[in-house]
Every structure is written in C-alpha cells, then in structure tokens.
C-alpha cells in the first residue's frame, strides 16, 4: 500500500492510503447483516454485503 499526498484529493488529512483492491457497488439496502449472495455478480463474482448500522452496501471485490 502506498501513501498518497492528501492535497491530491483536496482533503485536510495528512495522507491517504492507496490500494489495488476495490469494491464494485451494486446497491445500498436496509440490513444490518453480513449476507452472501454467492456468485451472481459481474463475471460470476461473489456478491456480499458490507453492513454499517442499519444499512449495508451490496458489493463484490475487484481491482481498484
């Protein structure tokens, strides 16, 4: 992981971490659970939720 100068992104943070792993976002749902939808994503990607409080992002892992 590389540190990227914060000025590049217009933030007051001293630095941001850059990674090669990302997430493809399908939707946001009302759920507080970690769910798996198996390989229903693009190119048969494993789709799952990333919960936060009472909502969750429906995503699959991909390159950034």
Domains in the chain, number:
1
Residues spanned by the domain of 26: 21-64
In a domain, 26, yes or no: yes
- Digit-by-digit pLDDT tens for the chain (64 residues) are 455 454 554 555 556 667 789 999 999 999 999 999 999 999 999 999 999 999 999 999 999 8
Contact call for residues 57 and 33 (beta carbons, < 8 A): no
Residue 3 lies in a domain: no
Task: Indicate yes or no: pTM above 0.75.
Answer: no
The answer to the question of residue 8 being in a domain is no
Residue 54 tokens, joined: 């009472």
**Domain presence at residue 4:** no
Q: For position 51, what pLDDT does the model report?
A: 97
Listing DSSP states for the chain in one string gives -EEEEGGGGT-SSSEEEE-SEEEEEEEEES--S--B--S-SGGGPPPEEEEETTEEEEEEEEE-
Give the pLDDT score at 64.
85
């Amino acid at each position: 992981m590389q540190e990227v100068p914060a000025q590049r992104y217009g933030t007051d943070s001293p630095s941001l971490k850059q990674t090669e792993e990302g997430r493809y976002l399908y939707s946001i749902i009302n759920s507080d659970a970690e769910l798996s939808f198996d390989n229903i994503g693009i190119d048969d990607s494993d789709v799952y939720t990333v919960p936060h409080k009472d909502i969750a992002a429906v995503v699959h892992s991909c390159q950034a």
